[in-house]
Structure 1
């Protein structure tokens, strides 16, 4: 059957304005939360809408878009009427019928969709991730196709979303199973090169995401293994975006493991991979990773030079080439990473100013990051001889920890802060915090 040509949705593109696709996707997710919807919108989805690949959004996205642009209809947003796009198998947007496939494949796709679109608490989220990418059958297709490639990509988005909301501890073990399945699909080999490329990129990004869950929950050896797997996949596929991502996380891990020189070298390797990708924000993040390594080595001059580069690249703004995984990297994260540099150099009052800005700038919906930045603030205040303020910040973190946020990293930071506050335990506020902890 001949494919229907895509007509770009220029109306929707105008609505995005000067925002990058990742920034607009974040706005869509915020709007969804306002009306109780759950959508996994990212830069790639925005691109599919603007290119005309998605001619009509599904019902969840429809409600979100109409909430964002009150008084407008789908037609006003550049979409086609729902009844005109249903049943056209050549179109792959959410409103259209998929290419006919076997009942087994259809069942697997339904299970997959339910698995990765479910919401709820961290416990429910972890159980959700326990389902494989193949549904209940656990049978690999002889030749993975577009359905399987899309499933891997959706798993990546879902894991990132759940991590933002809940932290890593409850998710890591369950997320390892989709990762194993993704690499099994990759090993089976796709019939088309384009599908094979998507599987490589998707499996590699999934390895980075699962590696981060291991990293954040204190399983550093597991994280190192997953990041190395992602880097190998990037090299095989000649995927510079994935290579830069893997090196960025490897640099972060090396810093946390007390290997600052390795952190510097990994960040520099990531910058070389990212040099021609056209994403100043990616170069900014990698410069911050490098700065953290130099700070760990006590090299203030090199750290400040890397921070200067990071600020210069960040000031160039967002770009269409920004990878979708970088949606987390805004002003709040930049402030947090700079705070870690000054803390490593022993300038805790300066670090506290940056950590406070990070906590204030963070979208409160992402409870895990709010808790992390506030925990870092507490540690900096404790070492800057502001024990009562540190105890107050630590108490805010304890309010966020529990079923909804589970992160070994954050608890470790709080434990270190408590150690620094013990000499001040006679203060009522400090004593109350230590007792709660």
Structure 2
């Protein structure tokens, strides 16, 4: 049997923290009991074995890292102390951790795995119940109580501005060219620039809240881009971690936005009841935030969930509530990341809900209004054209529907979005019903073969 390699990383951290071997063992035993784990019986000899290279089992490496984080004033991870990752990839990022240090490690591990071993994440699965516990913990957790923190990386206003500017830039690119255009760059930035600030940052409580809020916003973007690529297991994990980071930053509005994104993903995957639950949780948070536009967004998202479950009355009630809330919104008075939500966007979401509620004529009316949208949302423009084409075709207005479908197909050129592909595939399915009609054949001929094989799910954003 080959000799074990001494764990120099653990030795260095132990020396820096100024803790003896026996002292470390005692603190781990105490912490394990506080965490509700079976009481261990570690002693100085146990620590000596770890220093010689033995890998402790179960949650012990997490306990060691947490114990060392306190005297060092920064988040210490398993990797920092030379120990292997705890979670199998199947579970990575799915937990809304109550302990902040553990939550930071969970987010950091997700970024690093996505940046360097993404293929392992794509082999995992989306789970329909995966959002339930995070949503409950978001709703019931006490208010965030960040404190001043010591660490090896000083965090100031410039760091926060940089994260928000990078997020804003890549959000624009996502809206223009789709999630496949630059998602890997966003993930790498999270892993290389944001994660070290979360783990090792020294900041005041006020700066800390801004840091976690900014990190949550970028994490949400990375999740949304994965969703756009139909990388649903990855997207789900990012949305959960974005929600946890928003909680740490006390950002109620961003938490509501994240829950709304969870609702969108559930609805996209056909989980109508889950979409309603997430939208309602989002609406409660939106009300707490005081953002009327955000309340409108959560209500129209709920309406789509009701449409998927076949509850047309509840869908109509939610749509009316969304319009009422939007009328109370104040241009310029909403969060910067919510500026996309305007009248045209509300019309698009309304049209989608009506189409799935089998009200194609009213859906077409709403989708026409959605085309009066701002510039810079090329992907959204394709979605809206495709939905309008679908509503017109379902209404029997075939000539106009074929013309709009052709416009959507031509407008999709250069957009890297699996949701766009699925949207166009749904239109193609409708066009094929009119295969003996020349305009329908023309539109179908213009659709690249690669964009005909999607599952035909309609886009949600």
> Smaller-chain TM-score range?
0.5 to 0.7
- TM-score norm. by structure 2 comes to 0.62
Q: Could you tell me whether the CA contact under 8 Å between 2:354 and 2:363 is conserved in 1?
A: yes
* Equivalence for 1:294: 306
How does 1:133-282 map onto structure 2 within 5 Å?
A: 142-180=153-191, 181-282=193-294
1:313 aligns to 2:325 (yes or no): yes
Q: Could you tell me whether the CA contact under 8 Å between 1:144 and 1:188 is conserved in 2?
A: no
Q: Could you tell me whether the CA contact under 8 Å between 1:280 and 1:319 is conserved in 2?
A: no
C-alpha distance in 2, partners of 1:320/1:358?
20
Query: Is the alpha carbon distance of 1:142 and 1:364 closer, same or farther for their aligned partners in structure 2, counting shifts above 3 Å?
Result: closer
1:431 aligns to 2:447 (yes or no): no
Following TM superposition, by how much is the alpha carbon of 1:425 offset from its aligned partner in structure 2, in angstroms? 1.5
**Cα distance per residue 1:294-333 (max 9 Å; x no partner):** 1111111111111111111111131665111111111111
C-alpha distance in 1, partners of 2:434/2:240?
43
Q: Could you tell me whether the CA contact under 8 Å between 1:285 and 1:310 is conserved in 2?
A: yes
* Equivalence for 1:410: 420
Following TM superposition, by how much is the alpha carbon of 1:194 offset from its aligned partner in structure 2, in angstroms? 2.1
Q: Could you tell me whether the CA contact under 8 Å between 2:173 and 2:181 is conserved in 1?
A: no
1:421 aligns to 2:431 (yes or no): yes
1:373 aligns to 2:389 (yes or no): no
Q: Could you tell me whether the CA contact under 8 Å between 2:354 and 2:360 is conserved in 1?
A: yes
Following TM superposition, by how much is the alpha carbon of 1:154 offset from its aligned partner in structure 2, in angstroms? 1.0
In terms of Rg, which structure is larger?
2
* Equivalence for 1:390: 401
C-alpha distance in 2, partners of 1:190/1:282?
33
C-alpha distance in 2, partners of 1:365/1:200?
28
Q: Could you tell me whether the CA contact under 8 Å between 1:379 and 1:413 is conserved in 2?
A: no
**Cα distance per residue 1:242-288 (max 9 Å; x no partner):** 21111111111111011111111111111111213222111111111
Following TM superposition, by how much is the alpha carbon of 1:178 offset from its aligned partner in structure 2, in angstroms? 1.4
**Cα distance per residue 1:366-393 (max 9 Å; x no partner):** 3222111101111222222223322211
Q: Could you tell me whether the CA contact under 8 Å between 2:267 and 2:308 is conserved in 1?
A: yes
**Cα distance per residue 1:165-203 (max 9 Å; x no partner):** 222222222221112231332111232222211110000
**Structure 2: gaps (5+ residues):** 1-114, 116-150, 448-461
Q: Could you tell me whether the CA contact under 8 Å between 1:278 and 1:319 is conserved in 2?
A: no
* Equivalence for 1:351: 363
Q: How many residues align?
A: 297
Aligned CA-pair RMSD:
1.8
**Structure 1: gaps (5+ residues):** 1-129, 131-139
C-alpha distance in 1, partners of 2:315/2:210?
37
- TM-score norm. by structure 1 comes to 0.65
C-alpha distance in 2, partners of 1:344/1:147?
45
C-alpha distance in 1, partners of 2:430/2:374?
29
C-alpha distance in 2, partners of 1:356/1:190?
51
Following TM superposition, by how much is the alpha carbon of 1:344 offset from its aligned partner in structure 2, in angstroms? 1.0
Following TM superposition, by how much is the alpha carbon of 1:356 offset from its aligned partner in structure 2, in angstroms? 1.7
C-alpha distance in 1, partners of 2:217/2:340?
15
Q: Could you tell me whether the CA contact under 8 Å between 2:172 and 2:376 is conserved in 1?
A: no
